[in-house]
Amino acid sequence: MAQQQALGGDGWLEAVRRVPSPHCNARPAGTVIDLLVIHNIALPPGAFGGPWVEQLFCGQLDPDAHPYFATIASNPVSAHLFIRRDGETVQFVDLWQRAWHAGRSCWHGKSECNDYGIGIELEGTDETPFTAAQYRRLAALTGEIMRRFPAITAERIVGHSDVAPGRKTDPGPAFDWGRYRRLLAAVDGARR
């Protein structure tokens, strides 16, 4: 990929736990990575902790472990990064690869956001406030991603609901965009 050759480096971040997912593939040739999509997830719905998100993203979710899991276990989904409630971060997909997080999506007239976007999942729900540790970690990771991928600007950081309106609602009304953007500005200011 020309962008990778120009920017260099691999797509694995430091100080995160790596759990490679099979639910990824190469981005289309010539793709410029220029979008960051923020999501939320809780498995089972409304529950935090446990191994379920990692198992889902790795294609290992037992459909018999919870009634809800039977409806999603066969879906090949992943995100690049997952931030737990305590701020622990797991990376599933190399940032240069296409993770399968946004599904059918469009941003500013350009469809298939998985092709050119990076997906970060926060452990949470639309209605549950996210933790201070999650906001701090999200801002720090975003700063690192923006450093590596300069085409991702503050204006190109969106929610899943922005790229799949009517189909998705996350990160939801409990996500405090103002708080996140203030922390991101502080991270950006400290980099300069």
- Active-site residue, selected from the candidate residues 54, 88, 112, 121: 121
d(CA 112, CA 106): 6
d(CA 115, CA 32): 9
Farthest CA pair distance, the chain: 51
Per the CB < 8 A criterion, the answer to whether 157 and 146 are in contact is: no
d(CA 83, CA 124): 9
121 is catalytic: yes
What is the length of the chain?
192
Residues noted as catalytic: 121
